[in-house]
Chains A and B, each alone.
Chain A
Amino acid sequence: MYRKGVYIGLIAAAITLYLVALFQLYILVSNIQNTVIPALENLSSMRLNYRVQSLNISRVDNTHIVSACLLVNITWSKNLSYRGPQIELIHKGVKIGVINITSYDKPVINKRLCFKLNISGDPGKILLIIHSYSGYINFDYTQPIVNASSIASYAKIQIVELKTVSEGNISTIIVTTKSSFPIKASVRIVLRDENNNVLASRVFEDYNTSSTKPYTCRITTTPDIANKTKYIEFYIEKILISRYRIGG
């Protein structure tokens, strides 16, 4: 026996569920528009810059270590009231720091970040891994931001005094140096001619200097090399810390 009430009840249940599904679809689409897309836009517009607050290059058991403290600023396009990404800094597969953007409501200003970099061998790159939590889609996003050598080169060795003393067939180049930040490491000085050819190279194992403490290097060579020297370079491991042109 056909009962119209049963038919209407079943159709009503079907329509109700269709409406619930449509409502949920509307919520999904609006959430994607209001959270996922702005979060991705903020990530794409994210800018990170840093200032080196302190730096120290030292040698521990034949391994050169750069200890640095940076002041990091991170900005983005839209101020939003939900959670931002967690940013990890990785160097040679080792996590060296974390910045947690708990909310997109204000930019990260002068966040102090201290870490140590092992620069022996290949200095490597510092990578950013951004763990983004945009609601429906969470993901990790990686990009290299700076070479470790760039951080190390902030130590900048400066020549305070340079003179050459000649006695017969022996010339001694005396270079007195200071550095912007403390360096206690094995420093290699390379002398180059006008065409960038290496004329001589000396390693100073006990190199120890800072902005207030000068260190004098004496390079014994021939008068010919002393006369041809146009560039002096300072290296720690494979990293060129400073390069100077001398003479005219």
Chain B
Amino acid sequence: MGEKSKLLVKAVGKGILKGIIYYIIYYIVIFGLLIMYVIPMLFSSLNINVSNIIGYEMINIPVIIWFIGLHIAIELLRAFIPYGSALEPVIGIILLYIILISLNYGRIEKYIPEYHVTLSIDASLLLKTIFYILVIFSIGSVFSKLANEYKKRHKS
């Protein structure tokens, strides 16, 4: 197996592993906690069981595929393109955006046949604000990674 093939296999392997790890961190831990615990906790004083209304699935296959696919892309960029690792946070932003889309930007509607009414919860401003903060943080990471790679490449 050639050097490039080895790099390619290594990049794909790392991409799959990182995709799953970041899926757990972003989708299950951060947004899962937010949707399944933080928002229901805010509503607990009203005796509304929001968890029943929110259709959050811990295992979301399309999102997992996106996470793995984009992390493979990150590892390939890192392995074959100069300063490719600096693009990692940009792909992180794309993944966050995919999470927001999969959660319908935090907008949920549910018809309650007993009362003949449709109820809704709109946490889009909260999720968009969190997304916006993470985007700023990610762009900061781009600069940080560029600085480190610049130093590594030019000092050696």
User: Is the CB–CB distance between B143 and A17 below 8 Å?
Assistant: yes
User: Is the CB–CB distance between B115 and A139 below 8 Å?
Assistant: no
**Cβ < 8 Å to B, chain A residues 126-165:** 127, 129, 135-142, 144
Residues of B within 8 A of A41 (CB): 45
Most buried by B among A36, A137, A144: A137
Residues of A within 8 A of B154 (CB): 1-3
User: Is the CB–CB distance between A7 and B151 below 8 Å?
Assistant: yes
User: Per DSSP, are chain B's interface residues mostly helix, strand or loop, or mixed?
Assistant: helix
Closest Cβ of chain A: how far from B126's Cβ, in Å? 4
User: Is the CB–CB distance between A40 and B144 below 8 Å?
Assistant: no
Q: Is B81 an interface residue (CB 8 A)?
A: no
Residues of B within 8 A of A11 (CB): 143-144, 147
User: Is the CB–CB distance between B143 and A90 below 8 Å?
Assistant: no
Residues of B within 8 A of A36 (CB): 42
User: Is the CB–CB distance between B151 and A93 below 8 Å?
Assistant: no
> A40 and B42 in contact (CB under 8 A), knowing A14-B143, A17-B139?
yes
User: Is the CB–CB distance between B150 and A6 below 8 Å?
Assistant: yes
CA distance A25 to B129 in the complex (A): 9
Closest Cβ of chain A: how far from B74's Cβ, in Å? 19
User: Is the CB–CB distance between A18 and B115 below 8 Å?
Assistant: no
Q: Is A169 an interface residue (CB 8 A)?
A: no
Q: Is A79 an interface residue (CB 8 A)?
A: no
Residues of B within 8 A of A137 (CB): 39, 42, 121-123, 125-126
Q: Among A1, A28, A93, which residue has its beta carbon within 8 angstroms of that of B116?
A: A93
Closest Cβ of chain A: how far from B139's Cβ, in Å? 5
**Cβ < 8 Å to A, chain B residues 29-73:** 39, 42-43, 45-46, 48
Report the number of A-B residue pairs with Cβ-Cβ less than 8 Å: 104
Residues of A within 8 A of B137 (CB): 17-18, 21
CA distance A127 to B114 in the complex (A): 11
User: Is the CB–CB distance between A144 and B133 below 8 Å?
Assistant: no
User: Is the CB–CB distance between A7 and B133 below 8 Å?
Assistant: no
Residues of A within 8 A of B7 (CB): none
**Cβ < 8 Å to B, chain A residues 1-41:** 1-3, 6-7, 10-11, 13-18, 20-21, 24-25, 28, 36-37, 40-41
User: Is the CB–CB distance between B125 and A20 below 8 Å?
Assistant: no
CA distance A36 to B118 in the complex (A): 23
User: Is the CB–CB distance between B141 and A14 below 8 Å?
Assistant: yes
> A10 and B143 in contact (CB under 8 A), knowing A2-B151, A127-B115?
yes
23 CB < 8 A contacts A-B = A3-B154, A6-B150, A7-B150, A7-B151, A11-B144, A13-B143, A14-B144, A17-B139, A17-B140, A20-B136, A21-B140, A24-B132, A24-B136, A37-B42, A90-B117, A129-B119, A137-B42, A137-B121, A137-B122, A138-B125, A139-B119, A140-B118, A141-B48
> Which 8 residue pairs of A and B lie closest in terms of their CB atoms, listed nearest first?
A17-B140, A10-B147, A2-B154, A14-B143, A44-B45, A136-B126, A14-B144, A21-B137
